[in-house]
Amino acid sequence: MGQYLAIGLRLMASVKKEQEFDEISVEDVLSKVENRYNLSDIYERSEKEKYYVYSIKNEVLDKELIPLIEKFYALRYTKDEEMDTADVIETLKALPDTSARLDLLDDRRFQAYQAGDDMDYFNPDIFPLREIRVSSNNAILSIDGKIAMECYGRVFDFFSRCIAAQLQEFALSKALTVWIDG
């Protein structure tokens, strides 16, 4: 199996609680994580036994998931590309609710709509230096490969911001992310 360039929506992100910080509060650290990963007002933060978990609010997904995907596909794929995007949209519209639409990701029936996970390490500007692992569960909307890259974080952040700028009328555009999957 190889690695692929993936673009999608960060549906959920989690930060393990085990890190201890001497000079900075947990709230300050989480604020830095929220800023770095754009875990803005469209996410709800909850506290689990071992993790802080950020999940996209259901009302945002209910309102914007299909319209954002339709516009994203129109920007991303040309008419000449043979992709399953029309089938994805038709299937999503036929499903009764957002929960069923998200469950469809796990079926991996479509190239342009499937589940994908990502893990990143973030070094917030704190002392002593700590590395924070941020795990994400994503909805893949585009996947191309195979790809091999090193030191790609900043360019992927740029890609994410460019894509979000094209879709800025959707609050859900703040959840767009680019990563290497596989």
Task: Give the start-to-end residue ranges of the domains of the chain.
Answer: 4-11+57-181
Local confidence band at 146 (pLDDT 50, 70, 90 cut-offs): confident
CA dist list (Å): 130 to 14, 55, 140: 17, 24, 30
| Tokens 């794929």, residue located | 77
- Looking at 55-152, list the stretches that DSSP marks H as alpha helix, in order from N- to C-terminal side: 58-76, 85-94, 98-107
Distance between CA atoms of residues 175 and 126, nearest Å: 25
- pLDDT at residue 135 tops 90: yes
Local confidence band at 52 (pLDDT 50, 70, 90 cut-offs): very high
Answer left, alpha or beta for residue 151, where phi above 0 means left and psi between -120 and 50 means alpha. left
pLDDT at residue 63, as a whole number: 95
Question: Among residues of the chain, what percentage have pLDDT more than 90?
Answer: 42
Give this prediction's pTM: 0.80
pLDDT at residue 176, as a whole number: 81
Answer left, alpha or beta for residue 105, where phi above 0 means left and psi between -120 and 50 means alpha. alpha
Q: What is the mean pLDDT of the chain?
A: 85
Distance between CA atoms of residues 26 and 33, nearest Å: 10
- When pLDDT is averaged across residues 51-55 and rounded to a whole number, the result is 95
pLDDT digit string (tens) for 74-94? 888 877 677 889 999 999 999
Distance between CA atoms of residues 155 and 132, nearest Å: 20
pLDDT at residue 1, as a whole number: 52
Greater confidence, 141 or 17? 141
pLDDT at residue 124, as a whole number: 74
46: its two tokens: 């909850």
pLDDT at residue 56, as a whole number: 96
